[in-house]
Structure 1
Amino acid sequence: MAEAPLLPRKDQEATGYWRSEARKLAYLALPMVAVSLSQYAVQVSSNMMVGHLPGVLPLSSAAIATSLASVSGFSLLTGMASALETLCGQAYGARQYHTLGLHMYTAIVTLLVACVPLSLLWAFMGNLLVLIGQDPLIAHGAGRYIVWLIPGLFANAVIQPITKFLQSQSLIMPLLLSSVATLALHVPLCWVMVFRTGMGYTGAALAISVSYWLNVAMLVAYIVMSSTCKETRTPPTIKAFRGVGVFLRLALPSALMIW
């Protein structure tokens, strides 16, 4: 008489299914965690460089400016770009591959336009901090620092849609490699900007902006040159402007949830 299996066959199939799904999820999630950490480390490493400057004013100004930039700019763009998780995911699942590129262009255009009022806000951030009672020295120091982050804000408006564009296709390794390479280049660049150019703590902010644009260059080069994006990359077209309304209907609630 044959012995009964320890687990019913259906339970074994369910266990195998969950293990398979967990491996797929880990393949996507773990590299994206590393991508997020690498992008965050760019700003953290800049603050660490500033911390080696004499006095407490440079680090205080840089820390406040970094926090305000994250809340009023970078987080907002990240939230708006999250709309592409829905739009690009649906398009890729429906095999409408050319639509992914259109959605990406729509997001880039919209986010770049959003950067204009945000950059104006950052330009007057020092005066605004004084108005709300912040110490004038720290306030104006933070204002000078955040002004040099404005080019990085526009770069981030390009990075975030490209990230969602590649992520929706499960192309995670290019994101990981570009983020790690950006961080590796940023550290010596920041050191030179802070200690060798005479810019002081504002050099750290400029280094962030330059590093973000280097990341943009690497990601764009991958999309243009890689065969994996052959079906999804499309040339810029006026059609990208027609999808702004649909994009905003998803982007604004997403931004509020993250913000």
Structure 2
Amino acid sequence: FEIWSFEMMVLLSGLLPNPKLETSVLSISLNTCSLVFMIPLGLSGSISTRVSNELGAGRPRAARLAIYVSLMMVAMEGLLAGTLMIFCRRAWGYLYSTEEEIVNYVGDMLVLIATSHLIDGIQSVLSGIARGCGWQKIGAVINLGAYYLLGIPVAVFLAFVCHFGGKGLWDGDYSCTLCASIVTCDPNRMYRLGERGKESH
């Protein structure tokens, strides 16, 4: 769902004033986001496997410990990667272009990317936890609703009605990631993790 919404964002950027600049900057931003997202993506796959194995073996406490460790790891990675992006923001754009306008805009966008990377990483790990617990349908419904019923409409509103341009598209798309993270991290559902482990004995 997330990749499709990113592609939709690039297409929508072509409708903004100065589409050449907006499309170039959003493409660079998405490329950067994809690069740093590989670590949370790996953690997501790992925690999914670990949680499913621990629950299958009837060890809910071990599954819960793995969840806490993975969330701590992805939060630390998000803070570290975000800090590096903010410190390198004025130079990063030169890897892609020599035009000052694009480089400066990419520098501004990297602050948003750094913040959204932390949220996106946590959401990715939470989705892995949901898959490991056998909540694939719940995760699919949450992500579908968040990205297409919330994210894209908010992105369009911020970009075209509030005239925030590419930054509005980015903020709108990441509002859905924040929403999906909050909904996925339901304490009642996490509590039922222990009940599932007891049932498997």
TM-score range (shorter-chain normalised) is 0.7 to 0.9
1:92 maps to a residue whose letter is: L
2:37 maps to a residue whose letter is: F
Please report how far the alpha carbon of residue 107 of structure 1 lies from its aligned counterpart in structure 2 after TM superposition: 0.6
Cα separation, 2, equivalents of 1:133 and 1:207: 26
Correspondence for 2:91: 127
Correspondence for 1:213: 178
Correspondence for 1:106: 69
**TM-score after normalising by structure 1:** 0.68
CA distances 1:133-182 after superposition (whole Å, capped 9, x unpaired): 63322222222223212232111222122212121122111111001001
Q: CA RMSD in A?
A: 2.2
CA distances 1:33-64 after superposition (whole Å, capped 9, x unpaired): xxxxx122232222222221122101111111
2:97–2:103: 8 Å Cα contact kept in structure 1?
A: no
Structure number with the higher helix fraction is 2
1:188 is paired with a residue whose SS is helix
Matched residues, number: 194
CA distances 1:83-137 after superposition (whole Å, capped 9, x unpaired): 2134223212211023222211111111111112211232223423326763322
2:44–2:128: 8 Å Cα contact kept in structure 1?
A: yes
Distance 1:226 1:127, change over 3 A: closer
2:85–2:111: 8 Å Cα contact kept in structure 1?
A: yes
Cα separation, 2, equivalents of 1:133 and 1:191: 27
Give ranges in structure 2 of 5+ residues lacking alignment: none
Larger Rg: 1
Distance 1:226 1:215, change over 3 A: same
Q: Which runs of 4+ in 1 moved over 3 A?
A: 131-134, 225-230
Q: Give the alignment partner of residue 140 of structure 1, picking from 101, 104, 127.
A: 104
Q: Give the alignment partner of residue 133 of structure 2, picking from 166, 169, 182.
A: 169
Give ranges in structure 1 of 5+ residues lacking alignment: 1-37, 234-259
